[in-house]
Amino acid sequence: MKRADIANFFTKAELDAAVAAAPETVAYDPDCPPTREEDWTPDKAILHLGLDDLRAQRAARRAAREAAAKAAQEKPKKPRAIQIALRIPPDVLARWKAGGPGWQTRMVQRLSAP
């Protein structure tokens, strides 16, 4: 909360009294332990990175995402079938259709067999 917002709810005397009554040390919270000196070593802390380093990391992540998206779009697609018009005698067509659903697939399999 901003100082200006607090001032709308409390008087200066009330704020001064709250600050004076506050403990000198922060209470220990097991869910949020204090940091230790070894937590701030360059290999663990991000503080050793400059703004240019952070921007470069961000640009690298963005480039990797874009490359992955482009690779997903360019993956080879299965060749599509070509539609043609084929004249077949009615009795031949009737025999293929009599086999039930999937007659076109069976016809293609038979035609492509060596």
Q: What is the pLDDT of residue 4?
A: 58
Element (H, E) at 4: helix 3-9
Task: Read off the pLDDT of residues 77-103 as tens digits, 9 standing for 90 and up.
Answer: 777 888 889 899 999 999 999 999 999
Note if the pTM is more than 0.85.
no
Task: Read off the pLDDT of residues 14-52 as tens digits, 9 standing for 90 and up.
Answer: 888 988 888 887 777 888 888 888 777 766 666 667 788
CA-wise closest residue to 96 among 87, 86, 106: 106
pLDDT-derived band of residue 2, with 50, 70 and 90 as boundaries? low
Give rounded-to-5 percent helix, strand, coil for the chain: 55, 0, 45
Mean pLDDT on 50-64: 89
Task: Read off the pLDDT of residues 61-78 as tens digits, 9 standing for 90 and up.
Answer: 999 999 988 888 877 777
